[in-house]
């Protein structure tokens, strides 16, 4: 059986922010308007990191 952290962690090889950026840019979003959070390994880390990013802006 896999350890719990392996069941709750996704291994995409690329952060979703980086994976989906080309799609939103193709839809007209300017690259300079994107802030990518691509360091998190799970939902908790993502929420924490996005909160930190939003406090800095």
Domain ranges of the chain: 11-56
Q: What is the pLDDT of residue 1?
A: 46
Q: What is the pLDDT of residue 13?
A: 75
Asked if 46 contacts 40 with a C-beta cutoff of 8 angstroms, the reply is: yes
- Name residues whose C-beta falls within 8 Å of residue 57's C-beta, 6 or more positions apart in sequence: 35
Q: What is the pLDDT of residue 34?
A: 92
Closest by CA to 18, choosing from 42, 37, 41, is 37
Q: What is the pLDDT of residue 32?
A: 95
Residues 1-57: pLDDT tens digits?
Answer: 445 544 455 566 788 889 999 999 999 999 999 999 999 988 899 999 999 988 755
This prediction's pTM:
0.61
């Amino acid at each position: 059986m896999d350890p719990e952290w392996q069941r709750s962690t996704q291994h995409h090889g690329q952060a979703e922010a980086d994976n989906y950026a080309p799609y939103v840019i193709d839809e007209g979003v300017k690259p300079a308007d994107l802030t990518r959070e691509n360091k998190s390994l799970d939902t908790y880390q993502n929420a924490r990191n996005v909160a930190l990013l939003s406090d800095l802006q």
